Amino acid sequence: MSISRWTSILGFLLLPAIAQAAWAQRPAPHLGYVYPAGGRQGTTFRVTVGGQYLGGVEKAHLSGGGNRIKVIEKTQPLKPKEVAELRERIQKLRKEPKDAAVREEMAELRKKLDKFMKQRANPVLAETVMLEVTLTPDAEPGKRELRLSGRSGLSNPLVFQVGQLPEFREKESPDDWVPPDRNPPIPRMRPKSDAAGPEMDVTLPAVVNGQIMPGDVDRYRFAARKGQRLVVKVSARQLIPYLADAVPGWFQATAALADDQGKELAYDDDYRFHPDPVLFYKIPKDGRYVLEIKDALYRGREDFVYRVALGELPFVTGIFPRGGCAGRQVAVKLGGGNLAVSRMTVDLKGKIPGIIPLVVRNQELIANPVPFAVDTLPEGLELEPNDAPAGAQVIAPPIIVNGRIGRPGDADVFRFEGRAGQRIVAEVVARRLDSPLDSLLKLTDAAGRQLALSDDCEDLGDGLSTHHADSLIAAALPADGAYFLHLSDTQRHGGAAYSYRLRVGPPQPDFSLRVVPSGINVPAGASAILTVYALRKDGYAGEISLTLKDAPKGYTLSGARVPAGRDRVRLTLTIPPSAPKDPVALTLKGRATIRGRLSLRPVVPADDMMQAFIYRHLVPAETLMAAAAGPPWIGKVLSRLTRDKNDAGENPIKIPAGGTVEVPLPGPRGPLRDQIRLTLNEPPDGIAIREVSSSRNGLILLLSADAGKVKPGFEGNLIVDAFLERTPDPGDEKSAANKRRIPLGVLPAIPFEVVGRQ
């Protein structure tokens, strides 16, 4: 065959690579805010979603059912040419007589130009999509997840709330904000009684929706009757937990209640340890009152979104106990306001260990959900007086004690018998169950000598917490005899709400799992990287296998296990060439054998998020979703490089420490094979590709293990990146030196194990 013929074929083969280069420049849509961030059952309304890369959005997805959503309109930032034309038109209008039509046109043009300047100041919020949302009358109230999808894939999730109350939206005020590049004055710190800014009339009960821009103070006026027990519940941080590009990384909402003369009656900038405020106020007389919402530092931008529920609403301030034993019925005392009952029975039959939401109703209205623990150990109650070792309450581990730090300065002391060398675990679960207790736990022997002390213990599974306030002690007892556990509040606070669950006994090895990211975008037939985090408990260090549960045909995991002793593993998900255009919800399960018994645990989807530019959190999501995004030819090319599982299976390849091993890969035949380049994606230190060579059937990876860096027994997965390497003009020496790599994606994960040399 002639050289020109081969060149023509090669050029044809590389045409998709050029398309891939263009696709690679198109990131998945990223959502910054949705406003309003919810709506009422049985209504149809419009919302605006702001973010980046929204031009290709075609559909919206709201979890939970009972909804219909249509994409109505998309708005993109002005292009430089359009901005120049706007400015030219404004200059021309300045020279014309200022009649009403000219003034109106100039005002409209300036508004567009100011909007562009704001978008340029916050590019992560510059694009918008308008949605029409219909919620059916039977749509389940509560928190949902909203995502957008389109040609470039699936977006991140945003919180969207389905409510039961009439909804109001703040009145639009004149857009008088000056963009940062125009040297605006710093907003002055206005007193809370400042009457500046329009007020909006609302009728109780209601939910009001608003956005805070720099210096904004939003006010809502309402009528109330004497004796009404008003509850004002603000949702702001819980709608958007972290703003990665903002300082300090969130919207700090404040709520103030005033009478008709402007006298402040109540104020809050948080509720206990929650950053969103809640106000409780008994109305002293009939009249009109004003609620004020603002940011504590008078900051603001489009993603400072809030929802405020106000009225005589049911609200739970505390429960006791905060958990119970699986398979039983538990009598629970309720504390709070506007509740129809003070006690309820929680049926835990059929419940598995974990934390479930406790839902309390007042007729049709649902109160704030409260976390409730489900465990399997025997349960008991703390008995007063037990403030000192002399009066310590005797317990027999293993046990979970339900107790309270019932007053400021209170301390609860428990006595148990132990043996020399016995391992004991004492864990407080309080803050993770919405208790305000900031526990301090101390272990002493019979002589009063301190053996262990714990204030705060980080729980990576508690992804939204910025203060891990629960305590954990794991210790080996030095001798036979009596031991004491002292439990108190670090701030010496206390009260009926300061309840806890104290687990005491031998280690209970267990684990929980998180998978990141919660949204996957990958071409049909190709693979995407997932990271699974194993949150190990009480020393469990065994292997954990992972599976897809009830997945559609063709969706497969590779490298689906967390090796023994490891807290994290990177694996891959491959979606089939026939994957549907709409995103698919997936469920992962983890299983392990612990002390001879099979343990099954869900793999909770999450996103690795940052707040204040430094702190990272695994923020839980409701659903793991995968979308086919990108040219399907990519999956076809990558599938030809995939090891046949019927031959290779999931058995790890054995890499000798200080040696090499060959891994055969089928590969595309013909000229395209010579354009394929393979590299390792974030390989473990000491594992490398020594060489990639061609064979009659495909390609051969020569993998090596550095004996000085990795030892026999080390396990994991190798992720291989695939590229097409293209020379713009093969006949030109200068062009040949400027080779261009076009990323294709990753191959299914290759499990490996480092072994000793034979």
pLDDT number for residue 175: 42
Instruction: Identify the weakest region by mean pLDDT among 171-180, 247-256, 378-387, 681-690.
Output: 171-180
Within a domain: 683 = yes
Please say whether the beta carbons of 545 and 590 come within 8 A: yes
Tell me the mean pLDDT in the region 332-341. Answer: 95
Is residue 14 scored above 70 in pLDDT? no
Which DSSP string do the residues of 163-213 spell out, in sequence order?
Answer: ESS-EEEPPPPP--PPPGGG-PPPPP---TT---S-EEE--SSEEEEEE--
User: Distance between the two ends of the chain, CA-based, in angstroms?
Assistant: 48
At 636-645, the pLDDT tens digits run 888 877 766 5
Is residue 736 scored above 60 in pLDDT? no
The counts of H helices and E strands in the chain are 7, 58
Is residue 621 scored above 60 in pLDDT? yes
Residue that finishes a domain, picked among 328, 347, 375: 375
Within a domain: 20 = no
* pLDDT class of 245 with cuts at 50, 70, 90: low
Within a domain: 183 = no
pLDDT number for residue 86: 75
- Who's near 346: CB < 8 A, 6+ residues apart? 324, 329, 330, 332, 358, 372
Q: Are residues 228 and 155 part of one domain?
A: no
Q: Are residues 209 and 143 part of one domain?
A: no
* pLDDT class of 481 with cuts at 50, 70, 90: very high
Is residue 18 scored above 50 in pLDDT? no
Q: Are residues 130 and 36 part of one domain?
A: yes
Please say whether the beta carbons of 192 and 555 come within 8 A: no
Within a domain: 541 = yes
Per the model's pLDDT, the better-predicted residue between 632 and 507 turns out to be 507
* pLDDT class of 318 with cuts at 50, 70, 90: very high
| Torsion sign across C-alpha atoms 77, 78, 79, 84 | negative
Within a domain: 187 = no
Q: What is the SS3 assignment for 86-130?
A: HHHHHHHHHCCCCCHHHHHHHHHHHHHHHHHHHHHHCHHHCEEEE
How much is the mean pLDDT over the chain? 88
Task: Please state, in angstroms and rounded to a whole number, the distance separating the CA atoms of residues 619 and 605.
Answer: 9
pLDDT number for residue 639: 80
Q: Are residues 541 and 619 part of one domain?
A: yes
Q: What is the SS3 assignment for 284-295?
A: CCCEEEEEEEEE
Q: Are residues 409 and 367 part of one domain?
A: no
Q: Are residues 265 and 208 part of one domain?
A: yes
Longest CA span, the chain: 99
Instruction: Identify the weakest region by mean pLDDT among 47-56, 256-265, 441-450, 730-739.
Output: 730-739
Extended strands (E) in 612-747: 615-620, 624-628, 653-656, 660-666, 676-680, 687-694, 698-705, 715-718, 720-726, 740-746
> At 98, which CATH number?
2.60.40.10
pLDDT number for residue 436: 96
CB crowding 583-595: b at 16 or more within 10 Å, else e: bbebebebebeee
Query: How many CB atoms are closer than 10 A to CB 202?
Result: 21
506: nearest Cα among 428, 425, 443: 425
Q: Are residues 663 and 553 part of one domain?
A: no
Tell me the mean pLDDT in the region 178-202. Answer: 51
| Torsion sign across C-alpha atoms 18, 24, 28, 32 | negative
> At 686, which CATH number?
2.60.40
Please say whether the beta carbons of 424 and 502 come within 8 A: no
Within a domain: 57 = yes
Q: Are residues 339 and 227 part of one domain?
A: no
Is residue 352 scored above 60 in pLDDT? yes
Residue that finishes a domain, picked among 605, 629, 653: 629
Amino acid at the residue 643: R
Q: Are residues 260 and 227 part of one domain?
A: yes
pTM (2 d.p.)? 0.88
At 120-170, the pLDDT tens digits run 667 889 899 999 999 999 999 999 999 999 989 999 999 999 999 999 999
Query: How many CB atoms are closer than 10 A to CB 350?
Result: 7
Tell me the mean pLDDT in the region 186-199. Answer: 48
Within a domain: 25 = no
Query: How many CB atoms are closer than 10 A to CB 534?
Result: 27
Tell me the mean pLDDT in the region 54-67. Answer: 95
H or E stretch at 606: strand 597-611
Residue that finishes a domain, picked among 311, 338, 363: 311
Within a domain: 649 = yes
Q: Are residues 371 and 395 part of one domain?
A: no
pLDDT number for residue 19: 45
Provide the number of structural domains found in the chain. 6
Q: Are residues 72 and 104 part of one domain?
A: yes
Structural domain range at position 125: 30-162
Tell me the mean pLDDT in the region 37-62. Answer: 96
Q: Are residues 645 and 611 part of one domain?
A: no
pLDDT number for residue 121: 66
> At 392, which CATH number?
2.60.120.380
Is residue 54 scored above 90 in pLDDT? yes
